[in-house]
Amino acid sequence: MAGKRKKESVLERTAQVFDLPGDLVAGLPRMELIGDRELRMENHRGILAYGSEEIHISGGKLILKVRGEGLELRSMNAGELLITGQIRSVELD
């Protein structure tokens, strides 16, 4: 446990020294919701479930559940994905 704590503090210090967002340095998922039509996510860990009304995305320690109508995975690579459609809700588990 002490090793993990030390690693986190090194990442926190690095973020502070270089004036960077902590989530960027730690590789945490970053989400951007644009209106109710577009969701972008960086640092995802893959798609867990996919359908036109619900998409589940792994964010490592959390799961992002996107619900709506006409949902579509428009693009995806190792670091980022884009979902479009009528987004009704976004839930973190």
Q: What is the pLDDT of residues 25-61, one digit of tens each?
A: 556 788 999 999 999 999 899 999 999 999 999 988 8
Helix (H, G, I), strand (E, B) or coil at 28: coil
User: Is the distance from CB of 25 to CB of 16 less than 8 angstroms?
Assistant: no
Could you give the C-alpha distances from 87 to 1, 34, 35, 41, 65, in angstroms and in order? 39, 10, 9, 14, 11
pLDDT of residue 3: 47
The residue with greater pLDDT, 1 or 80, is 80
- Of the chain, the percentage scoring pLDDT greater than 70 comes to 71
Q: Report whether pLDDT(1) > 50.
A: no
The reported pTM is: 0.73
pLDDT of residue 60: 84
